[in-house]
A and B are shown apart, each in its own frame.
Chain A
Amino acid sequence: MSSRFLLRVICCVALLIPVVSQAQQTLLNGQFKDITFRAFVTSVESATPYRFYYPPAADTLKVNTSFHEKPLSTVLLDIFKDTEFKFAIDPLNRVFITRGIEIQPELPPGYFGYSSLAKNQDDAALQSFLAGKQRDQQQASLEDKLFIIGSRSAEQKGNPSVAGYVRNIDNGEPIVGAVVMIENPFMGTATDAFGYFSLSLPKGRYELKIKSLGMKTTRRQIMLYSDGKLDIEMKEDIVSLKEIVIESEKDANVTSLQMGKEKLDIKLLKQIPSALGETDVLRTVLTLPGVQSVGEGTVGINVRGGSTSQNLILYNDATIYNPSHLFGFFSTFNPDILKNVELYKSGIPAEYGGRLASILEVTTREGNKKKFSGSGGISPITGRFMIEGPIVSEKTSFILSGRSTYSNWILSQLPNETLRKSAASFYDINALITHQINDKNSLQLSGYFSDDKFKLGNDTSYHYTNRAASAKWKHIFSNRFFGIITGSHSGYDYAIDSKKNPLKAFELSYGISQNQLKADFNYFLDSKHTITFGASSIYYHLQPGTRTASDAQSIVTPVKVQNEQAVESALYVSDRFEVTPKLSLTYGLRYSIYSFLGPKNVYRYLSGVSFNENTIIDTVSYTGHKPISTYHGPELRLAARYALPGAASVKFSYNRMRQYIQMLSNTTAISPTDIWKLSDQYVKPQIGDQISAGYYRNFRSNTIEVSAEAYYKLTKNFIDYKGGATLLLNTHIETDLVSTKGHSYGIEFMLRKLTGKLNGWVTYTYSRSLLQTTSSYTADRINNGRVYPSNFDKPHSLNLIGNYKFNRRFSISVNYTYSTGRPITLPLSRYDLNGAPRLFYSDRNEYRIPDYWRADVSLNIEGNHKIRKLAHSSWTLALYNITGRRNAYSVYFVSQDGKINGYKLSIFGNPIPTLTYNFRF
């Protein structure tokens, strides 16, 4: 601590030259700018015989003064002007600083018969004792000390505000989403992605409460006079391992304005049993109400009846197009560097746009600003490692992590030759640098890369990569106003290489990239209004497919589907309005404008009939970067909360979203070879409206949360496919697509207990997701224009997650999940063709696969709690699918030797034990 302050003094231009006058009184020369009182004391003490004794509260003072040949008393008078502090200097050059009451350093002469007698040794002993105690007590004493915010005499229009950063005391990382609040009357705010908060209150004295997931709740006493700064450091709640998670946002469920938002902290993520021994963000998100997937081997999520491509997945503000590794058994996010995951299902804030169903924000940690540390883990399929530390202490930090699989090695050990020559591997790398330029400016650079390869035997190989980079600059204009400028780049590429037959050898590649620039501003108008506004612009560039001959002998025709490019821009403004302590509103408007740009040759089709290759009548050539088609429209966002008596509230929200890029996939799950398509004159942008309402209530002093949320969603221009559609390398893709109208509705119930030895949640969701083709042409209608269930329509879903903590080292987690089987198209009748039976199928999605249920259990064993040891380790022993139920992953029928046989494929058809070792140092 002390060296830190010393450094600061040097940095802050401190100059102190003692001049000893004849009158035995030390005169000082100095110049101090914005340094703490403590630093001032240190510098005076080092240059003069003065010794200071002062209450911790004095440290809130900022010293801004310069003086020339002045005695200390004059200097102190100047510093303490307009404050409650008083001082006294005794003949032994001891300076006593008090608050409110002035002390007399000396008893009246002759009171005891002798004048003040001080022993220098005692004095030194006292000093060293105080220094030792200081660090331990600092946190506690900070909670009791009164911080003076602003200056008593400052002119202040309206309510003053207090602003600052909330950071982790151990590593200096900002704490995101920490609640800074006063309880009576209830007023509060949450820290942003930089740990920054600003709270506007009437002048006066308050007790601020600061709460955050996994951190010890702390308090600060403030005396608010005018706009001022208060940085707060929080300690990690190491003792209470699990239950903290709940405590921190205990009442957020009821008090927060946001609805349909779920936040998962990494600590929570880590205790959920997983099939492959690795914490998986997306799989945990699947246990939340309203989130489903089509099968257990996939990480694509379906939020409230939306498709997997209607989720905007942001990794430190950069879009991720394919969040899966190894066909979807792993998500692409390395758990070691994650901080938290936020999912918005409804009431989506105006700053987000571009996808209909949800926003999934994945945020990584920033790296330890104080010391180097690392962590890693070994599970049956993957190994991972992470290292973090300061580059410049307190200012700049980095975090770097990598993860890879040894599945290739496993394959090479197998007896089957085909499998030995197969490959399935992936890796990912993450890096992040944060730099605190000064109090007003900070910078964050984030990079991400993932790579997957697989092939069976020496046949076709598949290779895909994700990349994302972002740079974020935050500038604080004033206590009430700050802005963030973010530039990001995202890309996704895949390549298929087939070499088996040299004459037909080919390589097919696909690529999408987007560059985005956005600016977001936040203005705390007063205690009732917080205004956010901003603008963003995305440039998309797609290479929808190129096929080239990959062997000199190959006679494959090279094909290149024309590149596509587009610009999507948006402006938004939103106001969060605390109408009364009971009623708060957020209302905002986002206006997005999209242009599909040339150069491109566009087919024109005969009007009045269904598009197909034979109805192409003309080709129009667009050159340059000129708009071919443009769409724009407003997106209204509304949210309201009304507090009811007894820790309860009702919330309502409405939002409209517009989506200009769609994924084309006629398979049930996300597949690495799915392609994205920009809206053009034939593929209209998707528009979704969602209305939702909910009731929230907490019981037993916020330890038990109950909520119910209902929603209705209407989607326009959702894409489905004609039977037997070809999506890849299709130069006239519009002929294979049909436009549908979607209706989704549902109700979600949640019961959650987040504290105590036993904690966890139970959710039940009833939801439907239905589609209907809108075309007037028979060829473009599915099920003859009737309403049919989407591929991910699973009406009933029940999830239970329970943790029981035996003691600090052992805890057990149980997970149970049930859902209705997904819809499927089944064969209804058979017929013989050339001697072999063939199938005739039902209407699309007329049937369902069997219901799904599964129970898992995991035991977490923490290493001992000695503070000093080489590495802290933990073991997780998990048993996935305890009952070994063979849940159907898919159901299919094949014609084999003249018979029709139906089969059910289960991926995890047996109980799967895994043991994972994690360490951190």
Chain B
Amino acid sequence: MSFSQTILKLLVCSVLLCGCIDPYKPAVKTGAASQLVVTGYLNSQDGSAKIQLSNSQDIYNSDLPTNITGAQVTIESDAGGVAHLTETSPGSYELSGQPVDPNKKYRLTILTSDGERYESAYSQGRNSPAIDSVTWSLDDFKNGVDIKLFTHDESGQTKFYRWDYEETWQYHSAYQSVLYYDPATSGLFRREDDIYNCWHTVPGFKIITASTSQLTENKVPGQSVVFIPRSSPKLLLKYSVLIRQFAISEDEYNYWENLRKNTENLGTLFDPLPSQLTGNILCTSNPNKLVIGYFSVLSATEKRLFIDGNKLPTDLTSDTGYQKCTYDTLLIADIPNRIRGIGDVYLFIGPVTQTFFTIGFSYSTKKCVDCRLTGGTTTRPAFW
């Protein structure tokens, strides 16, 4: 934990017992010249690349970023080869099956439809060593689950690492529905699909990097990748995380570190002051124009970890995310009058019986019944 975080926490929660954090939205100038944002890399293993071009937007603008369409994107080698990327979806430019020579350097060039030309610095492929292991454990204070990664590089070539990850977890909605309402016939029918059991997959937002340049051995001795707090519903049934490891250059490492410091680790007077950062891409047609992004030739190694919810202490997984759900019953006598109104807004769960007789049908809000409404999908992932 960094010095500043230590201070922040001590200040806020203990010594004075009175610090407070309030949401704050300062007025900043809007409509500032937007910058081109470039993400993506050239995969040296399969020669694929997926370059995403978008524009930055005003800070409080919560719309999706605008994609840059119609640009000419190429990857050039220092030996002269040029590969053109094709726009497969707005702002997304792809390449596949391009042979990558480990002894050559490659760069990205972009010519946007407004005539600006951008070039990245040349980058040489780096092979990532295999991930040794990914483990999980309860943290010291049982505040959650800490997932750690161990790796090393015998060749000693990799000194800087970056990881990204993708989390998937299985969960159930509050109530398993066996009935559905058909508005056409105003009738209730047996449900064939499963909207109770879902899998939710999200990419990791955190920037995770490590350097072994300050260590005597070239190994990463337990890098924290994901921390799942104790109340998280992720751990209820089964959880999985896929970690991708990249070997990067020192320059790229600094880029990600600065990016991380600027957006994840600011808060107190003891934090470093934020700084503008750009990356290794320049606008050659207008040097004053800032570009955000870092292009490099990378290869990824992967490892997946599963955690079975019933292996965890029960008090750790108390929160389902559905605690507030309740259901109500539509009595058979009320069906003619109310089924339409209820059926349009709610989802039916199943019959309610009293001494062998069905007296009505339970229903609840769609969110409590349909697991897909919390972001998941009912399709079982291939790796599950």
Query: Which of B14-22, B73-81, B187-195, B332-340 sits within the interface?
Result: B14-22
* B56 x A419 contact (CB < 8 A): no
The 8 A CB mask of A417-460 against B (1 = contact, 0 = none) is 11101101000000000000000000000000000001111111
CB neighbours (8 Å) of B141 from chain A are 417-418, 421, 457
* A904 x B21 contact (CB < 8 A): yes
Chain B: residues with Cβ within 8 Å of the partner, total of: 77
* B140 x A457 contact (CB < 8 A): yes
CB neighbours (8 Å) of B254 from chain A are 724
| Contact A454:B10 (CB < 8 A) given known A666-B272, A831-B54, A902-B23 | yes
Out of B7, B23, B258, B270, name the residue touching A723 (CB < 8 Å). Answer: B258
* A673 x B269 contact (CB < 8 A): no
B:1-59 near A, CB below 8 Å: 1, 3-16, 18-26, 28-29, 32, 34-35, 37, 39, 54-59
Out of B22, B55, B62, B258, name the residue touching A906 (CB < 8 Å). Answer: B22
CB neighbours (8 Å) of A454 from chain B are 6, 10
Out of A555, A673, A830, name the residue touching B59 (CB < 8 Å). Answer: A830
The smallest beta-carbon distance between A719 and chain B, in angstroms, is 13
In the complex formed, the residue of A with least CB distance to B256 is A833
* A903 x B21 contact (CB < 8 A): yes
* A904 x B22 contact (CB < 8 A): yes
A893 at the interface (CB under 8 A from B): yes
A120 at the interface (CB under 8 A from B): no
The smallest beta-carbon distance between B286 and chain A, in angstroms, is 15
Out of A298, A828, A905, name the residue touching B21 (CB < 8 Å). Answer: A905
A186 at the interface (CB under 8 A from B): no
| Contact A668:B269 (CB < 8 A) given known A673-B3, A826-B26, A827-B59 | yes
CB neighbours (8 Å) of A895 from chain B are 205, 263-264
Out of A294, A418, A547, A826, name the residue touching B28 (CB < 8 Å). Answer: A826
* B268 x A459 contact (CB < 8 A): no
The smallest beta-carbon distance between A802 and chain B, in angstroms, is 26
The smallest beta-carbon distance between A437 and chain B, in angstroms, is 47
A892 at the interface (CB under 8 A from B): yes
In the complex formed, the residue of B with least CB distance to A559 is B214
The smallest beta-carbon distance between A729 and chain B, in angstroms, is 8
The 8 A CB mask of A307-343 against B (1 = contact, 0 = none) is 0000000000000000000110100000000000000
A603 at the interface (CB under 8 A from B): no
* B28 x A833 contact (CB < 8 A): no
* A831 x B24 contact (CB < 8 A): no
Q: Interface residue tally of chain A, by bracket?
A: 35 or more
User: CA separation between A417 and B140, bound complex, in Å?
Assistant: 10
User: CA separation between A906 and B269, bound complex, in Å?
Assistant: 11
Query: Which of B128-136, B174-182, B235-243, B274-282 sits within the interface?
Result: B274-282
B137 at the interface (CB under 8 A from A): no
Out of A381, A827, A889, A898, name the residue touching B268 (CB < 8 Å). Answer: A889
Query: Which of B216-224, B300-308, B350-358 sits within the interface?
Result: B216-224
* A503 x B273 contact (CB < 8 A): no
CB neighbours (8 Å) of B29 from chain A are 828
B359 at the interface (CB under 8 A from A): no
B261 at the interface (CB under 8 A from A): yes
* B37 x A832 contact (CB < 8 A): yes
CB neighbours (8 Å) of A462 from chain B are 3, 6
CB neighbours (8 Å) of A417 from chain B are 141
* B267 x A838 contact (CB < 8 A): no
In the complex formed, the residue of B with least CB distance to A898 is B205
CB neighbours (8 Å) of A839 from chain B are 59, 262-263, 274
* B273 x A667 contact (CB < 8 A): yes
A874 at the interface (CB under 8 A from B): no
The 8 A CB mask of A596-636 against B (1 = contact, 0 = none) is 00000000000000000000000000000000000000000
B121 at the interface (CB under 8 A from A): no
In the complex formed, the residue of B with least CB distance to A783 is B276
* A829 x B22 contact (CB < 8 A): no
| Contact A422:B14 (CB < 8 A) given known A462-B6, A724-B257, A847-B28 | yes
* A456 x B58 contact (CB < 8 A): no
A115 at the interface (CB under 8 A from B): no
B292 at the interface (CB under 8 A from A): yes
User: CA separation between A905 and B1, bound complex, in Å?
Assistant: 19
In the complex formed, the residue of B with least CB distance to A411 is B14
CB neighbours (8 Å) of B39 from chain A are 832-834
* A723 x B277 contact (CB < 8 A): yes
B:274-318 near A, CB below 8 Å: 274-277, 290, 292
CB neighbours (8 Å) of B99 from chain A are none
The 8 A CB mask of A525-547 against B (1 = contact, 0 = none) is 00000000000000000000001
For this complex, 23 residue pairs linking A to B, each with C-beta atoms less than 8 Å apart, are A294-B269, A410-B15, A421-B141, A460-B3, A555-B217, A667-B4, A667-B271, A669-B269, A825-B274, A825-B275, A826-B28, A827-B274, A829-B32, A829-B56, A830-B58, A831-B292, A838-B259, A839-B262, A890-B269, A892-B266, A893-B263, A894-B267, A907-B19
* Interface positions of B (Cβ within 8 A of A): 1, 3-16, 18-26, 28-29, 32, 34-35, 37, 39, 54-59, 61-62, 65, 140-141, 143, 164, 203-206, 214-217, 219, 221-222, 254, 257-259, 261-264, 266-277, 290, 292
Contacts A414-B14, A557-B215, A832-B54 supplied; 10 other A-B pairs, CB < 8 Å: A559-B214, A724-B272, A830-B59, A831-B57, A831-B65, A834-B205, A836-B206, A903-B267, A905-B8, A912-B16
* Interface positions of A (Cβ within 8 A of B): 294-295, 297-298, 326-327, 329, 381, 407, 410-411, 414, 416-419, 421-422, 424, 454-460, 462, 496, 501, 503-504, 547, 549, 555-557, 559, 666-669, 671, 673, 721-725, 791, 825-836, 838-844, 847, 886, 888-895, 897-910, 912
Give the 4 A-B CB pairs with smallest separation, nearest first.
Answer: A723-B275, A503-B221, A669-B269, A904-B24
